[in-house]
A and B are shown apart, each in its own frame.
Chain A
Amino acid sequence: MTTMTLPDEHDKPKPAEAHQLSIIESIQQGLDITPEVHPTLAESDHILQIDRFNLWYGHNQAIHDISMGFPRGKVTALIGPSGCGKSTLLRSVNRLNDLIDSVRIEGHMLLNSESLYDPSVDVIDLRKRMGMVFQRPNPFPMSIFENVIYPLRIDGERKKSILSDACQRALEGAAIWDEVKDRLHDSALGLSGGQQQRICIARAIVAEPDVLLLDEPCSALDPLATIRIEELIHEISDRYTVLIVTHNMQQASRVSDYTAFLYLGRLVEYGRTDDIFQRPHLSETEDYISGRFG
């Protein structure tokens, strides 16, 4: 385990002695815990492997020693109360945190067993292999068509036929083709929030990424639009590996195959969604899921 940089380091009891404290209490006191990772995950094929990953914003540690694997072709949900590091973890996967000057990391992330944080990795290329959808719909101030094919455009693709094929495929994939096919060249900012978010999903999948990262994609949407997006995640889950961060327990249980529960930057429990929601190994997980804390 990494050494902690907290001021009470010298009187920190050994993890073995901490059995009388609950896991939540241990974490709150800055103690290391052993995450409860279900054995069902052991035999799966992991597209993305996180290995003892730590992250600091300046002097604040946001992620503590997380090790976990994400199964290929499955939907994995990251749940946990606000500030637990779910979004930070997601943004570390495509190195969007590089944009913040004060970020420092330790540990490894492996995509298809290639390290993501090796100095020789081209971060631009890396991001092209991971589609990302953000909390608030963020279509660019341009036409729907240009929005969707943006990743191809910046890749230097110019052929009209390829672009329009890809655009149609992505829009169909994002289940919005029928709604916008007649106004592809209108500004994307004229669409409703739910439609904008689906445009953003189309933009994220147009370049056929290896991994799709969804950062609370429904938090700014109304319930109907949320249902549409959830159905969409379900539909595309057989083609992509999806990582979804969500606040919404029901959403996690509806759309995901695996669920990881994080708390204050630590992984607490990680297993198949059915197991986590019906037979969690830890009482704390059960408490959180049933809304008793958090």
Chain B
Amino acid sequence: MKVVLQNLTKIFPSRDKKAGKEVVAVNDFNFEIPDGKLIGLLGPSGCGKSTTLYMISGLQKPTSGKIFFGDDDVTELSTENRGIGLVFQNYALYPHMTVQQNILFPLQNLKGADKLSKEEMQERAYNAAKLVQIEELMDRKPSELSGGQQQRVAIARALVKMPRVLLLDEPLSNLDARLRLQTREEIRRIQKETGITTVFVTHDQEEAMSISDMIVVMKLGVLQQIGKPQDVYDDPANLFVAKFLGTPPINVLEGKIQGGKVYIGQEAVLEVSGAEDQDVVIGIRPEGFELAETGALHCNLVNVEVMGRDVSIVSHHPASQNASIRSIINADHKTSVGGQIVRYDLKPHKVFLFNKETEERIRCEVK
């Protein structure tokens, strides 16, 4: 089931009637979620990603715009009639029911033609539990489960009705780091097995990048960029997207384009064509640095962190907007860094130029 959002807007009235302004949580959204894909809605807190999810679920009504599931306009349809499964951030498992009762609960609500016999319900609950690998835990109460197990129960409860669309609100935020890795792979596996169009919300870019077919980056209610994770990473539309994706984050330096060259401070680091002379903001991915004796970029060395597989070099540069510049160098080259100054060459495809005012990407060829 593809999901289409058309000019979707949500405005919350101000709390304080006299002074406050209304809040535009989601501003004129247009995008299409293809059938059977896993989509990550990504952005910092307060960017409207959860609001978008809740509007798709029907728990919140859009101020304007339309939502389609396939070709059906579901904008006016109430939550229960949309055929969605929703997993809440803190799971919202009914604490007084066993795992089995929790999973059975949505089925017991079915009426009329959809009504199932007891055996059918048991079987479907068992299948859902098996899918998320909790069939051993059916008689436990939620309080007797670990966070990861509760998460699985919540997913099973959402899946048992065979929803058209599965929605997950910050599915991994309540888990510890290790479980998070495990669970995100699990979510990927479940989504692949069921083929249900799945939308999940997260503020963790790594999480979104690692499992999504497509990511949707948002900021202050405005859509920034949609695309495959690697495409968005390799080709950010603006400085915000560039900064938001990637760990360690992109290094941001001030510079200028002059006479077909990109300058950082007084150092001409790269050649550029197809861009006018102007002040720019330069984003360099950590892996975009190469140690070179004759490198154009001079930085003051602060520290070298050895991580085994690669080496992370922390240095300073006066034009840097970040506190320090962090580069990641493959540890295969037995590079020795010494002295006060470290010199780099830059890999052109890891360097992005942004307009200083608008922070939009300057489309040009960097060499």
A is bound by B: no
A interface residues, Cβ below 8 angstroms from B? none
B interface residues, Cβ below 8 angstroms from A? none
